[in-house]
């Protein structure tokens, strides 16, 4: 065998390209002929002067010969890769013939072989459990068909699914994903592709295609999920979060400095608005710049609720947290006849209790919570009084922490006033104390500060402070605001608690799927990156929703960790009569892996055992 050089010219650009072929020489009578064995591509990773070593090693592997002098790992890896491709192609070369057979469950034929035990070796061991689970979930919700309907090529269809599954199983950059596809996972094999057939450029192209068709894909995928699981769409939860960036991102119109919910004030942000149903499935998403004001986003969501989502004609109840529920927003919802449930932004000072007997409920930790309906004047809405002893303990604990920190800083400030060289002029002291109060704004309003001044010198000599008395401040009481008077106390409480679903959604996106930090520079790549993360979440939630029905409440990270024990393996052996037998199969799944697949009625084995015999 030898490697030949081939030139190909692009007629449009007049550029010439060079690539290589693996060839075999044979004789017919007195004439020598050359036969194409395999196209090797550009072979950029290997210098031309080493091509002879590679072709010799490929021939040795195909002839079951061992090279005791080859210590080059690059040559060995390439030779194994190309020899495996030749074996899978079932080509006949020289006096060698390759036979391929799939071993089915029903195959009762006994196949005894006498093999050299020392020749048995396993290689190309790759993860396949999580990837196979994700691929079946994509097919279950019809995401592959939605993409196909956009009239895409077969390669792009496969690339988009590989990109989504990669984000689910190994969330990372496109460059790292390309390496993972080549070295660690059998994901490409599930789509009948070679390990190195999907590059980072194809992943970028697939991501941009998905975002380009965002509205169609987002709407149809939720419609499929809703029909598949017969979900009711009478309650939706709306919330906003922000994702931070690494880098300067000066060329982006979305990346702005703002108030980070993860306390990353040093990074630029982008805001993600989500509308989620009570089962955790995303019905609508929208991206805003990082300095977007939360209350201003609700109008966009209400306008798009019917046009860009698959919400039914019956207007759903909208559940929100206190950050969005301004008086103007609630007024707009009432004008559009939308019911809502939210936390009141302020405590009611004057109210009348409607229910004499409180309704007692318990949270997940069996802590008792007292509920009562109340009414107040000058408010069109209705209110639910909520008293939680556990919330009171939490408020007191937070207050103790803030108090300790604030008083420590006040003591240090006062001590510095006694030292020489300290700025003690009245204007300077007031400016510094204003900054100190700003840093501790959670607690500083509860203190009265007084200063002792030397009027002759115009300086402050000391400072005193006193905590204001306010017994009712930490009583564990808050109010839930709702619009529909027909709801009973338990219904209001249950609807309000669905807001935990959107919190879980954000937690999964940020922690399990690692949607942030974002390293992309261009807006097109940033938006594509986030949308692929949202699609990956929909598939993840499809799997977890079905497992929860069987009381399997593992996080997605835990599921991936357990399924990574399920591997695809290739084993070689030499028989007594010189044949080389190669078996490709999946290892035996653990009981946990089997349970996960069986509970949601997915196939356990991605392919049947395959046997290749070189005779």
**DSSP track, 489-518:** HHHHHHHHTTHHHHHHHHHIIIIIS---SB
Give me 608's structure tokens. Answer: 């049947």
Give the pLDDT means over successive 10-residue stretches in the chain (615 positions).
Answer: 84 80 82 84 84 85 63 79 77 56 59 88 90 95 94 92 94 92 91 87 94 93 92 83 82 82 83 88 88 80 68 75 85 86 86 85 86 85 89 88 91 86 86 90 88 85 85 79 89 88 85 83 89 94 93 92 93 87 90 94 90 79
* Strand-by-strand arrangement of the 31-41 sheet: 2-9, 16-28, 31-41
Nearest-CA neighbor of 246 among 529, 531, 508?
529
Q: Please tell me the predicted confidence (pLDDT) of residue 310.
A: 56
Q: What is the CA radius of gyration of the chain?
A: 33
Cα 109 from Cα 106, distance rounded (Å): 9
**Please, are residues 432 and 423 in contact by the beta-carbon 8 Å criterion?**
yes
Cα 553 from Cα 168, distance rounded (Å): 18
For the chain, the first-to-last Cα distance in angstroms comes to 18
CA atoms within 13 A on the CB side of 284: 24
Residues in the chain: 615
Q: Please tell me the predicted confidence (pLDDT) of residue 264.
A: 83
Nearest-CA neighbor of 283 among 482, 87, 587, 537?
537
Nearest-CA neighbor of 449 among 434, 466, 472?
466
Q: Please tell me the predicted confidence (pLDDT) of residue 68.
A: 47
Cα 567 from Cα 589, distance rounded (Å): 8
Cα 212 from Cα 201, distance rounded (Å): 17
**Please, are residues 106 and 548 in contact by the beta-carbon 8 Å criterion?**
no
Q: Please tell me the predicted confidence (pLDDT) of residue 99.
A: 61
Cα 287 from Cα 431, distance rounded (Å): 38
Which pairs with CB-CB distance under 8 Å and at least 24 residues apart come from 461-468? Answer: 461/417, 461/418, 461/424, 462/414, 462/417, 462/418, 463/410, 463/413, 463/414, 463/417, 463/429, 463/433, 465/407, 465/410, 467/403
**Please, are residues 167 and 174 in contact by the beta-carbon 8 Å criterion?**
no
Give me 448's structure tokens. Answer: 């009265």
């Amino acid at each position: 065998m030898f490697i030949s050089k081939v030139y190909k010219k692009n007629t449009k650009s007049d550029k010439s390209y060079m690539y290589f072929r693996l060839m075999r020489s044979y004789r017919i009578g007195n004439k020598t002929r050359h036969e194409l064995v395999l196209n090797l591509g550009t072979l950029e990773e290997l210098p031309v002067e080493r091509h002879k070593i590679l072709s010799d090693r490929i021939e040795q592997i195909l002839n079951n010969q061992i090279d005791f002098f080859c210590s080059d790992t690059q040559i060995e890896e390439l030779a194994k890769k190309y020899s495996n491709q030749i074996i899978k192609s079932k080509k006949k070369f020289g006096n060698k013939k390759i036979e391929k057979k799939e071993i089915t469950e029903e195959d009762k034929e006994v196949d005894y072989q006498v093999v050299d035990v020392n020749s048995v070796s396993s290689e190309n061991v790759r993860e396949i459990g999580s990837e196979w689970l994700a691929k079946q979930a994509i097919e279950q919700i019809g995401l592959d068909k939605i993409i196909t309907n956009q009239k895409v090529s077969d390669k792009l269809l496969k690339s988009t699914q590989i990109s989504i599954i990669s984000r689910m199983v190994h969330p990372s950059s496109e460059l790292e994903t390309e390496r993972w596809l080549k070295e660690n996972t059998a994901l490409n094999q599930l789509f009948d592709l070679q390990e190195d057939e999907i590059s980072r450029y194809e992943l970028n192209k697939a991501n941009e295609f998905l975002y380009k068709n965002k509205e169609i894909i987002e709407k149809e995928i939720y419609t499929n999920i809703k029909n598949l699981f017969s979900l009711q769409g009478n309650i939706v939860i709306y919330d906003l979060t922000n994702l931070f960036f690494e880098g300067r991102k000066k060329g982006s119109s979305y990346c702005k400095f703002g108030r980070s919910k993860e306390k990353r004030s040093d990074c630029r942000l982008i805001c993600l608005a989500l509308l989620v149903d009570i089962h955790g499935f995303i019905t609508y998403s929208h991206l805003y710049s990082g300095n977007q004001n939360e209350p201003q986003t609700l109008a966009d969501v209400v306008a798009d609720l019917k046009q860009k989502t698959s919400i039914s004609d019956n207007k759903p109840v909208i559940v929100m947290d206190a950050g969005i529920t301004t008086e103007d927003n609630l007024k707009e919802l009432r004008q559009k006849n939308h019911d809502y449930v939210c936390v009141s932004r302020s405590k009611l000072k004057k109210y009348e209790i409607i229910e004499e007997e409180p309704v007692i409920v318990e949270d997940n930790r069996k802590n008792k919570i007292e509920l009562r309906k109340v009414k107040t004047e000058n408010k069109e809405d209705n209110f639910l009084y909520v008293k939680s002893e556990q919330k009171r303990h939490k408020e007191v604990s937070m207050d103790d922490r803030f108090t300790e920190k604030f008083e420590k800083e006040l003591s240090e400030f006062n001590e510095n006033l006694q030292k020489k060289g300290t700025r003690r002029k009245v204007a300077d002291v007031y400016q510094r104390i204003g900054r100190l109060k700003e840093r501790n704004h959670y607690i500083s309003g509860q203190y009265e500060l007084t200063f002792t001044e030397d009027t002759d010198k115009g300086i402050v000599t000391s400072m005193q402070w006193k905590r204001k008395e306010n017994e009712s401040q930490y009583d564990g009481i808050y109010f839930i605001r709702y619009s529909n008077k027909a709801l009973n106390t338990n219904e209001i409480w249950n609807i309000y608690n669905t807001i935990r679903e959107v919190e879980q959604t954000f937690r999964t996106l940020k922690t399990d799927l690692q949607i942030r930090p974002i390293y992309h520079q261009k807006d097109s790549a940033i938006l594509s990156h986030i949308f692929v993360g949202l699609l990956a979440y929909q598939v993840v939630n499809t799997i977890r929703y079905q497992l929860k029905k069987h009381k399997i409440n593992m996080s997605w990270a835990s599921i991936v960790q357990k399924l990574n024990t399920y591997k695809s393996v290739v084993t070689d052996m030499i028989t007594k009569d010189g044949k080389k037998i190669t078996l490709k199969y999946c290892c035996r799944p653990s009981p946990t892996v089997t349970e996960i697949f069986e509970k949601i009625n997915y196939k356990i084995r991605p392919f049947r055992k395959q046997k290749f015999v070189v005779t």
